[in-house]
Amino acid sequence: MPMHTSNPASAKWLAIVLVSALYSLAFSQIGVLTTLFPLLKEDFELSNQQLGTFSSIYLLARATFGTIWGFSADKFGQKRILLVTFLASSSAMVTAGLSQNYSQLITLYAVSVLFAVAAEPLTFTLSSTLFDPKDRGKAFGAVRALRGLAGGVLVAAIGWFGGLSDGWRFALLSFGALEAILAISLAIRLGSIEQHIKLESAPFKWGEFGRLAVTPHFILFTLIHIFATGMLIPVFLPTFLVEERGHSIQSAAVLIGVMKIFMIAGSLAGGFLGDRMEERWPMAGRLYLMIAYSIAFSLFTAMQFFPIWSNIYADWAVAIASSAIFPVGFAGCILPMLANVIAPQLRSASFAIMSSLCQGLSLAGFSTLIGTLSDHYDLGTMLFGSITIPYLLNILICLALLRFYVAEMRDPSHNY
């Protein structure tokens, strides 16, 4: 499906800003309820067991309903599902802010999350549809960077709301209302973009998706998602630094904040680098970068979890370097590569299967494994086995993918 270059660049980039902000807002209630949990405990007389329930609901919803919404977007249209899911999510979030007891809160939170998980496949598909292949790396990099910036702003806002007696209520009401406003604004913006670009693709067909799902490149891309476990680092790294490397809690917290800043920079740099690699080697440039990225990330995480020094500053240097490298793979390589070889009408469903379902279950499984076995083995060993080893496997998977990906790129019918 060729793109029309008459579409103003500013309109597309504004849409990217809006969808990135919406993505962050859709999941803001998770941050509100976990960060401001002490206020909830006081209001509803809860225990820490309920804190784990919030996280479990999100992981389950991402794996199940994230997949359902991905298929629905391909079947019924991106803009229609976007409006339905974001408006439903925001409505449930606002109503959750008015909860009078824990049962109401957890029910409305679950409803909101079930709709919010549509953000992931929708963001991928819209970003790939709005931009030509040569610019998709910059688009995906910008989305990840903007999500990081928006997340930082929301964290600061949640902290401010935490100073109020009913702060969690005000936060849910405010974020939910803002999400609805941005969803309507994005739908209007996409409507104007449709005058220049055809956002909706050919009809989704189950048979067509079934044939795609058994192709070697689809299976290998799915395996790459399963073994892309780097998102576990911010979860377990603070505990590893404090318990096994002698850092203070404050030092570990500051380091995580600095790492997030470098992740934003890495997202932008990775997007630009991926576009340049595809320009230089049109058939396989992004895959070459993915192989180099997997090698570099494996090396730095190995040094991070099995350090041969006893210097806190060296810990910081390696952690910051790995955080800058981490987002390059998806922003500059995997996401644009998927858009290159998967037809537009199958993208949301494909991404939902690979990311929401398979990667979601993988992260939940590895997280549980680390938590369970770290009582018997040191945490560094568990992190090496759950993060470094999977990325080493991804090097082999990328090498196996090379000939299948190049064959798909050479197929003249894949003008996506």
pLDDT tens column, 119-151: 889 888 888 888 888 889 999 999 989 988 888
Contact 147/58 with Cβ under 8 angstroms? no
Enclosing domain of residue 383: 206-410
Do 276 and 344 lie in one domain? The reply is yes
**Among candidate residues 273, 210, 219, 211, the one with its CA nearest the CA of residue 397:** 219
**Structure confidence at residue 23 (pLDDT):** 85
Do 181 and 265 lie in one domain? The reply is no
Do 382 and 268 lie in one domain? The reply is yes
Do 184 and 305 lie in one domain? The reply is no
Do 260 and 123 lie in one domain? The reply is no
Summarize the confidence of residues 244-270 as an average pLDDT.
89
Q: What's the token pair of residue 346?
A: 């199958």
**Structure confidence at residue 71 (pLDDT):** 92
Do 218 and 110 lie in one domain? The reply is no
Which residue in the block uniquely carries the two structure tokens 């049962």?
103
Cβ atoms within 10 A of the Cβ of 30, count? 17
- Structure confidence by residue, pLDDT tens digits, 235-256: 888 888 888 888 888 888 888 8
**Structure confidence at residue 129 (pLDDT):** 85
Classified as helix, coil or strand, 1 is coil
Number of folded domains that form the chain? 2
**Structure confidence at residue 193 (pLDDT):** 79
- Structure confidence by residue, pLDDT tens digits, 340-378: 999 988 999 999 999 989 998 998 889 888 888 877 889
**Structure confidence at residue 54 (pLDDT):** 77
**Among candidate residues 202, 224, 212, 233, the one with its CA nearest the CA of residue 291:** 224
pTM of the model: 0.84
- Structure confidence by residue, pLDDT tens digits, 46-99: 776 676 677 778 878 888 898 999 999 888 888 889 999 999 999 999 999 999
Do 186 and 223 lie in one domain? The reply is no
Q: Is residue 321 part of a domain?
A: yes
DSSP assignment, residue 134? G
Which residue in the block uniquely carries the two structure tokens 């739908």?
187
Q: Is residue 198 part of a domain?
A: no
CATH of the domain at 155: 1.20.1250.20
Q: Is residue 200 part of a domain?
A: no
Q: Is residue 125 part of a domain?
A: yes
**Structure confidence at residue 415 (pLDDT):** 57
- Structure confidence by residue, pLDDT tens digits, 179-220: 999 999 988 888 877 776 666 666 788 999 999 999 999 999
Q: What mean pLDDT is reported for the chain?
A: 88
Q: Is residue 363 part of a domain?
A: yes
| DSSP class per residue in 20-79 | HHHHHHHTHHHHHHHHTHHHHHHHH---HHHHHHHHHHHHHHHHHHHHHHHHHHHHH-HH
DSSP assignment, residue 329? I
**Structure confidence at residue 133 (pLDDT):** 86
**Structure confidence at residue 385 (pLDDT):** 95
Contact 271/140 with Cβ under 8 angstroms? yes
Q: What's the token pair of residue 230?
A: 């780097």
Q: Is residue 2 part of a domain?
A: no
Contact 125/344 with Cβ under 8 angstroms? yes
Alpha-carbon distance 78 to 414, whole Å? 21
Helices (H), 194-346: 206-213, 216-227, 233-245, 249-280, 285-305, 312-325, 328, 335-341
Classified as helix, coil or strand, 383 is helix
Alpha-carbon distance 95 to 199, whole Å? 32
Do 240 and 130 lie in one domain? The reply is no
DSSP H or E segment with residue 128: helix 119-130
- Residue 312 or 222, more confident: 222
Q: Is residue 97 part of a domain?
A: yes
Do 155 and 237 lie in one domain? The reply is no
Do 338 and 400 lie in one domain? The reply is yes
- Structure confidence by residue, pLDDT tens digits, 3-55: 444 446 788 888 889 888 888 887 777 778 777 777 888 888 877 667 667 77
How far the first Cα of the chain sits from its last, in Å, is 5
**Structure confidence at residue 48 (pLDDT):** 66
Alpha-carbon distance 333 to 286, whole Å? 5
Q: What's the token pair of residue 373?
A: 């076995």
Summarize the confidence of residues 283-300 as an average pLDDT.
97
**Structure confidence at residue 200 (pLDDT):** 61
Do 293 and 371 lie in one domain? The reply is yes
Do 236 and 165 lie in one domain? The reply is no
**Structure confidence at residue 401 (pLDDT):** 97
Q: Is residue 341 part of a domain?
A: yes
**Structure confidence at residue 1 (pLDDT):** 39
**Structure confidence at residue 2 (pLDDT):** 41
Residues composing the chain: 416
**Structure confidence at residue 53 (pLDDT):** 78
